């Protein structure tokens, strides 16, 4: 069996999804879960992009030891310096350096000749090789690059010190057969190719990212890149959980495997979905709610007689458990701590008392406490430590048929000052959001609003996701509460707090 390395870019390419902006604590939480999932490499961000990106990449590199941590850099010396500062204390500092190679990008974006692109690539790889033990070099838009030029530049960067060569299908254009042929061509035409690992990086614009990644493996790639749930720019990246399970189920054919801990897939998928606010479609392969549901009578009958008639993946393989009632208001601290450990929530000992009191408070109001409830409240408490410019003190909303809905809100601001406003609207949410807008003294339009229950039952927790245009900047937020109006107010404030933080730590656009 060949071993295929998994390179996860949820925190970099995935975070480039429209409307996704993860904060420091969320990125750290996802990185810890990716380590449990046992991915080989975590691309933690783009250190030169902003102070916020730099800080999270540096912290992830310092903390994560079970996976190698990398960061992206354009072929610019200052990007490489920033990446080195962020990654140097990691277990195995690794740089991901890229430049665009296709004629479209050379002419319209870089405005460089082939010779100039080669010169920049070689110079920056050499510069980086003096600092980093491992350099991965990517030819952006490789799949629309002339094959002979691709082979030429790949040879040059290998000689300059690159250890991994990545062939991205940046715009999701290639077909599986053609993608495999690029790898074969490079293996036949690049003299130094045996000195490096070959990596596949596929986007899903034509829905072929997994098929393309598998074709690359068949043609000699030993590393595959992607994101959890396939999130990412436009139609997203290859979904790593789909790739790893496909390789596992069809190892008879591909004769290759990953070291991914497949039992952590379900948990990782739901964490990423929760923190990014990007819902997983019910029919999505491997992690969709219906992925293991058998609806038709014929199928149910078959599965009851023999599971393998219609089931090629077992739910247990990806760590799906039935989410039964686990704790209640009579549960003690010991049972609480044990359950957190069992479901993989890392909580430092000094925080247990506080979290236990949060749990008790909810358990008093809610009859059944499931693992999903526990994960949701613990996560919410951990994340509430993030920078908060505005905090919700109280809300009151009045609604009645034939009455004008009215909301009154009290917030505390950055200097702990109290802000109180009231306003009306045509519905309760509008009244609430009009009031919050008044408190902010900034115009905000609501671009999206979604509400989801955590688990089942009338007393289930409400999770609200919003997308706002706040003073001309797009931002998203999340709020959890037992009451839908409180969850809605929290989601709005969470979005505002994020945009204010982003303002403070401005990002530069990725432009190779």
Min CB(237)–Zn ion separation in Å: 6
185 Cβ partners below 8 Å, 6+ apart? 147, 151
Tell me whether residue 145 or residue 434 sits nearer to ligand KIV (CB atom). 145
Tell me whether residue 21 or residue 101 sits nearer to ligand KIV (CB atom). 101
Q: Considering only CA atoms, which of 468, 290, 490 is closest in space to residue 280? A: 290
Provide the token pair at 25.
């604590």
Identify each DSSP E strand in 318-405 by its residue range.
391-398
Tell me whether residue 96 or residue 478 sits nearer to ligand KIV (CB atom). 96
Binding-residue total with ligand KIV (CB under 6 A): 8
Determine the 3-state secondary structure of 400 from DSSP.
coil
Identify each DSSP E strand in 197-349 by its residue range.
197-202, 223-226, 256-257
Provide the token pair at 54.
């730099």
98 binds, among ligand KIV, Zn ion, none (CB under 5 to 8 A by kind): ligand KIV
Helix and strand counts by DSSP (H, E) for the chain: 17, 16
Q: Considering only CA atoms, which of 149, 217, 204 is closest in space to residue 173? A: 204
Min CB(326)–ligand KIV separation in Å: 40
**How many CA atoms lie less than 13 Å away from 297 in the CB half-sphere?**
0
Q: Round to the nearest angstrom and report the end-to-end CA distance of the chain.
A: 36
Min CB(6)–Zn ion separation in Å: 15
Can residue 168 be called a binding residue for ligand KIV (CB under 6 A)?
A: yes
Q: Return phi, psi of residue 187, to 5°.
A: -65, -30
Min CB(361)–ligand KIV separation in Å: 44
Min CB(99)–ligand KIV separation in Å: 9
Tell me whether residue 106 or residue 203 sits nearer to ligand KIV (CB atom). 203
Judged by CB under 6 A, the residue of 170, 199, 209, 494 near ligand KIV is 170
Q: Return phi, psi of residue 386, to 5°.
A: -60, 160
The 10 Å Cβ neighbour count of residue 165 is 28
Can residue 138 be called a binding residue for ligand KIV (CB under 6 A)?
A: yes
SS3 per-residue string spanning 449-503: EEEEEECCCCCCEEEEEEEEEECCEEEEEEEEECCHHHHHHHHHHHHHHHHHHHH
Min CB(171)–Zn ion separation in Å: 9
Min CB(454)–ligand KIV separation in Å: 33
Residues 195-254 that bind ligand KIV (CB under 6 A): 201, 203
Q: Return phi, psi of residue 130, to 5°.
A: -75, -15
Helices 147-160 and 176-189: crossing angle, nearest 10°?
Answer: 50
Can residue 8 be called a binding residue for ligand KIV (CB under 6 A)?
A: no
Can residue 98 be called a binding residue for ligand KIV (CB under 6 A)?
A: yes
Tell me whether residue 100 or residue 154 sits nearer to Zn ion (CB atom). 100
Beta-sheet strand order (sheet of 473-481): 444-454, 461-470, 473-481
32 binds, among Zn ion, ligand KIV, none (CB under 5 to 8 A by kind): none
Tell me whether residue 13 or residue 15 sits nearer to Zn ion (CB atom). 13
138 binds, among ligand KIV, Zn ion, none (CB under 5 to 8 A by kind): ligand KIV
54 binds, among Zn ion, ligand KIV, none (CB under 5 to 8 A by kind): none
46 binds, among Zn ion, ligand KIV, none (CB under 5 to 8 A by kind): none
486 binds, among ligand KIV, Zn ion, none (CB under 5 to 8 A by kind): none
Tell me whether residue 15 or residue 140 sits nearer to ligand KIV (CB atom). 140
Tell me whether residue 94 or residue 490 sits nearer to Zn ion (CB atom). 94
Provide the token pair at 182.
């690029």
Give the H or E element holding residue 148. Answer: helix 147-160
Residues 398-457 that bind ligand KIV (CB under 6 A): none
Min CB(16)–Zn ion separation in Å: 8
Residues that bind Zn ion (CB under 5 A): 13
In which residue are the tokens 């530069």 written?
508
CA 20 to chain centre: 9
Judged by CB under 6 A, the residue of 8, 13, 40, 59 near ligand KIV is 13
* Measured distance CA(215)–CA(206) in Å, rounded: 15
24 Cβ partners below 8 Å, 6+ apart? 52, 55, 56, 59, 386
Can residue 179 be called a binding residue for ligand KIV (CB under 6 A)?
A: no
Tell me whether residue 203 or residue 267 sits nearer to ligand KIV (CB atom). 203
56 binds, among Zn ion, ligand KIV, none (CB under 5 to 8 A by kind): none
Provide the token pair at 68.
């190698």
Tell me whether residue 52 or residue 172 sits nearer to ligand KIV (CB atom). 172
**Interface residues toward ligand KIV, by CB under 6 A:** 13, 98, 138, 140, 168, 170, 201, 203
């Amino acid at each position: 069996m060949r071993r295929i390395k998994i390179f996860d870019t949820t925190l970099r390419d995935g975070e480039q999804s429209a409307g996704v902006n993860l904060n420091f604590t969320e990125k750290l939480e996802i990185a810890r879960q990716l380590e449990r999932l046992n991915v080989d490499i975590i691309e933690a961000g783009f250190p030169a992009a902003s102070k916020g990106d730099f800080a999270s990449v540096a912290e992830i590199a310092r903390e994560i030891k079970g996976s190698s941590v990398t960061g992206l850099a354009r072929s610019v010396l200052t990007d490489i310096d920033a990446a080195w500062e962020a990654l140097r204390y990691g277990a195995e500092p690794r740089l991901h350096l890229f430049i665009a190679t296709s004629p479209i990008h050379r002419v319209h974006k870089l405005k460089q000749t082939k010779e100039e692109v080669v010169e920049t690539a070689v110079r920056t790889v050499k510069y980086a090789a003096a600092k980093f033990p491992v350099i991965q070099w990517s030819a952006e838009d490789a799949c629309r690059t002339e094959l002979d030029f691709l082979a030429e530049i790949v040879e040059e960067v290998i000689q300059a010190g690159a250890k991994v060569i990545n062939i991205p299908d940046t715009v999701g254009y290639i077909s599986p057969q053609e993608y495999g042929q690029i790898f074969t061509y490079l293996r036949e035409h690049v003299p130094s190719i045996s000195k490096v690992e070959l990596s596949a990086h596929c986007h899903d614009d034509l829905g072929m990212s997994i098929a393309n990644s598998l074709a690359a493996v068949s043609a000699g790639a030993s590393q595959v890149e992607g994101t959890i749930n396939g999130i990412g720019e436009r139609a997203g990246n290859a979904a790593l959980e789909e790739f790893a399970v496909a390789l596992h189920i069809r190892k008879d054919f591909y004769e290759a495997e990953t070291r991914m801990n497949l039992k952590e897939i379900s948990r990782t998928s739901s964490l990423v979905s929760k923190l990014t606010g990007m819902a997983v479609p019910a029919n999505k392969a491997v992690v969709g709610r219906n992925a293991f549901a058998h609806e038709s009578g014929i199928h149910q009958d078959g599965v009851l007689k023999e599971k393998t008639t219609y089931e090629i993946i077992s739910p247990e393989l990806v760590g799906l458990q039935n989410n039964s009632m686990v704790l209640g208001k009579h549960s003690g601290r010991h049972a609480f701590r044990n359950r957190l450990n069992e479901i993989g929530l890392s909580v430092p000992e000094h925080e247990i008392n506080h979290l236990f009191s949060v749990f008790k408070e909810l358990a008093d109001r809610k009859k059944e406490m499931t693992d999903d409830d526990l994960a949701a409240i613990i996560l919410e408490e951990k994340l509430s430590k993030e920078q908060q410019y505005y905090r919700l003190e109280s809300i009151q909303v009045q609604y009645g048929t034939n009455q004008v809905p009215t909301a009154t809100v009290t917030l505390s601001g950055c200097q702990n000052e109290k802000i109180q406003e009231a306003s009306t609207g045509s519905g309760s949410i509008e009244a609430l959001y009009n009031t919050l807008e008044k408190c902010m003294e900034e115009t905000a339009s609501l671009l999206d609003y979604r509400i989801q229950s955590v688990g089942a039952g009338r007393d289930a927790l409400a999770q609200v996701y919003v997308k706002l245009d706040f003073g001309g900047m797009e931002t998203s937020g999340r709020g959890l509460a037992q009451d839908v109006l409180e969850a809605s107010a929290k989601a709005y404030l969470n979005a505002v707090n994020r945009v204010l933080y982003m303002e403070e730590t401005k990002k530069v656009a990725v432009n190779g």
